[in-house]
Amino acid sequence: MKKQTKPLYGQHNTTAYLFLLPWLIGLFCLTLGPMVASLYLSMTKFNLLSSPTWTGLSNYVHIFTEDDTFRRSLGLTFYYVFLSVPLRLAFALLVAMALNKGIRALGIYRTVYYIPSLLGGSVAIAIVWRQLFEGNGLVNQFLSWFGISGPSWIAHPDYVVYTIITLSVWQFGSAMVIFLAGLKQIPADLYEASDVDGAGKIRQFFGITLPMLSPVIFFNLIMSMINSFQAFTPAYVIGDGRGGPLDATMFYTLYLYLKGFSFFDMGYASALAWIMLVIIGVFTAIVFVTSRFWVFYGDNQEGR
């Protein structure tokens, strides 16, 4: 009887770790290392010019008890996230359903609609957006054709945030492409059977499209929410880097940036960063926990 040889598990593991080595170096040196350093700095007073001085939880206590700008920036960020994310996803789904009708040159339309997602976060687009919504910008020139005198959108504290929300919604391309891929995976038999049963388009949408598309909605919701919490470039450019007018564009990330790189209070900025990390983690966990009630997988549509 031929003797069986044992597989060389140790050799296989060594090969696997060699391939993983670049990623592991990046993880420990470029991700976990800076995170641990940031956590330490969040409990110090550090101005980049002198050594950090340990202060314990004083930064966090000051943030939650005495920092009014923190509360305003956090409230503004919540408002931005809760308004821009649903609008972007709804618009992306609407366009995806329109493109899912078997139109010609689908690839061209898909590319055109995807381009804003590639360019929308750049400084150049934010500058263009600022010029569009200035007092004599293209938007007001268009409104003047109908006899409407528009305000200077970016100079008015009540309107400027909506220009940033509009820019966010305009970047619907990536979510749209994912929605379109999900729509193409829904079996046509379901719609044909519902037609036989006399279901209308609205009932098909809520009874077939949304349940079958719920895993894709779940993914897009998580990614859009995380990205919206980290919105920075439009607020920095449109608000002149100071959160103007009257802190109407003082997003949380912009306030963090100003604390760290304008006032050189790196300890305080690190504390702000960790608070934002916890906030994003909490909201992500809430979405994951509640997903069992509205996200469905497989043909049986049983909740996870």
Amino acid identity for residue 27 in this structure: L
Q: What is the pTM of this model?
A: 0.88
Count Cα atoms within 13 angstroms, Cβ side, for 227: 22
Amino acid identity for residue 105 in this structure: A
Which CATH code for domain 46-292? 1.10.3720.10
Q: With contact defined as beta carbons under 8 Å apart, do 304 and 291 qualify?
A: yes
Query: Closest by alpha carbon to 217, among 166, 181, 168, 164?
Result: 181
Going by the DSSP 8-state scheme, the letter that residue 292 receives in this structure is: G
What pLDDT score does 201 carry?
A: 85
Q: Could you give the C-alpha distances from 23 to 14, 15, 20, 29, 258, in angstroms and in order?
A: 15, 14, 5, 10, 32
For residues 105-123, one letter each, b for 16 or more C-beta atoms within 10 angstroms of the residue's C-beta and e for the rest, the string is eeeeebeebbebbeebbee
54 three-class SS? strand
Q: Could you give the C-alpha distances from 171 to 63, 114, 122, 187, 219, in angstroms and in order?
A: 33, 8, 11, 29, 16
Phi, psi of 302 (to 5 degrees): -85, 140
For residues 15-44, one letter each, b for 16 or more C-beta atoms within 10 angstroms of the residue's C-beta and e for the rest, the string is eeeeeeeeeeeeeeeeeeeeeeebeebbbb
Sort 279 into a burial class: Cβ within 10 Å, 0-12 / 13-18 / 19+. middle
Per-residue pLDDT of the chain (304 residues; tens, 9 = 90+): 455 555 555 556 788 888 888 988 988 888 888 899 999 999 999 988 889 999 999 999 999 999 999 999 999 999 999 999 999 999 999 999 988 876 776 778 778 888 887 776 788 888 888 888 988 888 888 888 988 888 888 888 999 999 999 999 998 888 999 999 999 898 888 888 888 888 888 898 999 899 999 999 999 999 999 999 999 999 999 988 888 888 999 999 999 999 999 999 999 999 999 999 999 999 999 999 999 999 988 644 444 4
> What is the rounded distance in angstroms from the CA atom of residue 121 to the CA atom of residue 137?
21
5 three-class SS? coil
What pLDDT score does 5 carry?
A: 53
What pLDDT score does 300 carry?
A: 46
What pLDDT score does 152 carry?
A: 85
Domain boundaries, the chain: 46-292
> What is the rounded distance in angstroms from the CA atom of residue 79 to the CA atom of residue 168?
13
Q: Extract the tokens encoding 186.
A: 């829904």
> What is the rounded distance in angstroms from the CA atom of residue 125 to the CA atom of residue 56?
41
Which residue matches tokens 């966010």?
168
